[in-house]
Chain A
């Protein structure tokens, strides 16, 4: 198609599109995404440069934007490949997006920004740093002032200078590829890691000092220690060996996509932190992984987000959700349609990873459980999306193809114990999500409690599905019992120590002694624990749902505690000592947990 202004649009090879939807895609498909991301980046850069012209004094004490752009242009003419490489860095996309938002605000409100933000020129001046970095790599002789942020002057892909205190600007000079930064105390070259397995290399840069390495905005350097770098190198090496050995169809796409990792501190075991951003193709934030297996599956996970982010620049797959939210089993808060689409694509990749990994000789019961869990959860959300009016025609094509892929995985045989554990953990998270997020009318609880006391059947409107959810920040910890199960599956001895009286909370946030008993298989003890917690606080939602899991299958109270826990809580507040009787009464009128119900909710108005 030729655009209405005479431009061609990117064409996507149908085979590449199909491969990306159904699997990993290959190096050629990823190369095409890099090409389209280049167009996206140039459009954003052009918008940023034009926006700079709308704000007086936008460069502050630095040379003008035009001067910086002139140097960048000289570098591009002298060494186009290296300049393209600098501009393609993931952190450049984060910077463009952040700074463009500030420029738009500044142009519309004058300079009336929050006083605690750094001056606008400090962000604009990253252009000067990009120009300087490109010029150094092109071997150009020049001098240019660049901003100092958090005591550091960064030249992307070239290095970073820690600068003596009290300076906001430093002069960079270079000749013949040798760079000098005035006022520099120490110089830090980029931290690059390359590992190879089976003849397949992967090269990444650990971005630890660049102010734009975090997707959410500028952040101070967090220099990686030598030990941390070596740990990353070793873990990446092991993870890459695993991926090359087991996921041959994915490693080409991963190696072609990933350019930078922004390292974050280690998180709780089985709860890594990872993130990707559509404006930062090729870059990802990762907490230090537990082990190589976790890093391998996280790379698969994040590369899925990367690919979809690039596809979303090419195609509009969904429209604004207009305040609608849905259930996402990987989040504790209700998610808009865009979040659901990102999630199903990422977890389709994760499911495929575990499917292959569980066949490996060293894989234990964890792989079996993860495969059973995520194939179920991903298919559930795909069912929601198939009914979503927010999908465009292209979005429906995408979701239909992905649904076929994930549906096919449901036929694989899985051990009955893994399937059962997956079903219970899925019910657990869904019930917690409901009781925390689904809004129940203020009159529903007292009216239900009154109907129960009368011993009759409640009016039908009291059992009707609420159409409203909260949209606050995530509660956190709804995966606590699933995390405990992962401990049990991978480290039975360590889990046994938890059952020997140690309070689990320091090990697994959100977990209680009742949870440990439940996961250990002692349902009777778990019931006692949960009831004791609920006697103290009927609104202890984790115990409310835990009680539902600890009761015998088929129990009428279970049906209510897992299927409509928000109703149990609403009514239970008015009869806290008779919670189980009330739940059983409600359960007699409700379908089994997991029965399809409402798929999307409106966001509650504050």
Chain B
């Protein structure tokens, strides 16, 4: 870990000066690498979930995405 007088350097961009009103105005090239890192983590849907009891007899109840009644 790389430590400076300000603390341990992390890999996450600090967007504390950005808010909803300014988020879309930030030039994409300035965020590109950080967004790619976020997207890579999010792509692994199951990998980010922890803690389901793995020693129980049934699968956890499945979400109902595929049984949604819709008008159109």
- Additional 4 contacts, C-beta under 8 A, given A7-B13, A47-B39: A6-B30, A10-B12, A216-B62, A267-B56
**A314–B10 touching, CB < 8 Å:** yes
**A47–B49 touching, CB < 8 Å:** no
**B7–A5 touching, CB < 8 Å:** no
**B20–A314 touching, CB < 8 Å:** no
A531 to B10, CA, bound (A): 57
A187 to B49, CA, bound (A): 32
Within 8 A of B (CB), among A8-64: 8-14, 17, 35-36, 38-40, 42-47, 49-50
**A101–B54 touching, CB < 8 Å:** no
**B51–A12 touching, CB < 8 Å:** no
Given A279-B42, A479-B55, A216 contacting B63 (CB threshold 8 A): yes
A44 to B38, CA, bound (A): 6
In the complex formed, the residue of B with least CB distance to A301 is B51
Residues in A whose Cβ lies below 8 Å from that of B12: 9-10, 36, 39-40, 313-314
* Shortest CB distance B18–A (Å): 6
Residues in A whose Cβ lies below 8 Å from that of B32: 5
**A46–B35 touching, CB < 8 Å:** yes
**A338–B47 touching, CB < 8 Å:** yes
Total count of chain B residues near the partner, CB < 8 A: 62
Residues in A whose Cβ lies below 8 Å from that of B30: 5-7
**A476–B68 touching, CB < 8 Å:** no
**A8–B38 touching, CB < 8 Å:** no
Among B8, B50, B64, point to the contact of A14 (Cβ < 8 A): B8
In the complex formed, the residue of B with least CB distance to A314 is B10
**A215–B71 touching, CB < 8 Å:** no
Among A4, A122, A309, A330, point to the contact of B54 (Cβ < 8 A): A330
A444 to B26, CA, bound (A): 62
A50 to B27, CA, bound (A): 12
In the complex formed, the residue of A with least CB distance to B32 is A5
In the complex formed, the residue of B with least CB distance to A3 is B13
Among the interface residues B9, B50, B68, which one has the most CB atoms of the partner chain A within 10 A? B50
Within 8 A of A (CB), among B1-36: 1-4, 6-16, 18-21, 23-24, 26, 28-35
**B35–A215 touching, CB < 8 Å:** no
Residues in B whose Cβ lies below 8 Å from that of A554: none
A477 to B53, CA, bound (A): 10
**B54–A218 touching, CB < 8 Å:** no
**B55–A474 touching, CB < 8 Å:** yes
Contact with B along A137-168 (1 / 0, CB 8 A): 00000000000011100000000000000111
